[in-house]
A and B are shown apart, each in its own frame.
Chain A
Amino acid sequence: SQQGEEDPQALSIQEGENATMNCSYKTSINNLQWYRQNSGRGLVHLILIRSNEREKHSGRLRVTLDTSKKSSSLLITASRAADTASYFCATVYTSGTYKYIFGTGTRLKVLA
């Protein structure tokens, strides 16, 4: 399977703590994206990092990308109860059009 792997599968932290989740993939990519899914609803795009970038920030989110190791990490700082959700990485490569491969997901629970 070409599916990306994420770890941990589940993470439980206290409000105010930082949450880190990791994504590993197998193919060469054009970019890598992170999405959030609340309670089995639709996915919301969080951040995109291109293959020639190493780090990117957006508000409380920090994403890193190591193409030599085919891995990425998402850091959520100062977590809030509202951050409780599942987080998925999506690796994107081009084959005529964009092709997306979603990771297995990390279920984050932030305790108030």
Chain B
Amino acid sequence: SAVISQKPSRDICQRGTSLTIQCQVDSQVTMMFWYRQQPGQSLTLIATANQGSEATYESGFVIDKFPISRPNLTFSTLTVSNMSPEDSSIYLCSVPGTGAEQYFGPGTRLTVT
């Protein structure tokens, strides 16, 4: 199994500002996933971050709003840009396991005021 940490664990931000969320994994992985979970809702995949290539974004998510970096095989960042209250969510990173399961970080709870 993989151990994943995220920073910050929570933040309250003003609208119009940006927040960068960090995800650190204790082992090298090719793919990392970023999810959004809006209040009381399920998880929605934002993008898949592969080391050495551009992230692949899902329908409805764009790079200008959610730029992602993947500088090495154990680390990734997701930036939520020009935030609005609708961006208030839990943001989760995850990595695939050796089977088809995923391992998740503890999440970053973002509130935009």
- Does the CB pair A40–B90 fall under 8 Å? yes
Q: Residue of B at shortest CB range from A103?
A: B42
Nearest chain B CB to A80's CB is how many angstroms away? 22
Q: Is A58 close to B, CB under 8 A?
A: no
Total number of B residues with any Cβ neighbor in A under 8 Å: 24
Q: Residue of A at shortest CB range from B90?
A: A40
- Does the CB pair B43–A45 fall under 8 Å? no
Nearest chain A CB to B92's CB is how many angstroms away? 6
Q: Is A41 close to B, CB under 8 A?
A: yes
Separation of A61 and B94 alpha carbons in the complex (Å): 23
Q: Which of B38-60 contact A (CB under 8 A)?
A: 41-45, 48
Q: Which of B76-97 contact A (CB under 8 A)?
A: 90, 92, 94, 96-97
- Given A88-B42, A97-B31, A98-B96, A48-B90 contact (CB < 8 Å): no
Q: Which of A29-46 contact B (CB under 8 A)?
A: 30-31, 33, 35, 40-45
Range of interface residues on chain A?
Answer: 20 to 34
Nearest chain B CB to A12's CB is how many angstroms away? 17
- Does the CB pair B42–A30 fall under 8 Å? no
Q: Is B113 close to A, CB under 8 A?
A: no
- Does the CB pair A43–B43 fall under 8 Å? yes
Listed in ascending order, the chain B residues whose CB lies under 8 Å from chain A are 4, 31, 37, 41-45, 48, 90, 92, 94, 96-97, 99-107, 109
- 17 additional A-B pairs beyond A33-B101, A92-B100, A100-B102, beta carbons within 8 Å, are A30-B100, A31-B100, A40-B107, A40-B109, A41-B106, A43-B92, A45-B97, A48-B99, A48-B100, A48-B101, A88-B42, A88-B43, A90-B102, A98-B96, A100-B45, A102-B44, A104-B42
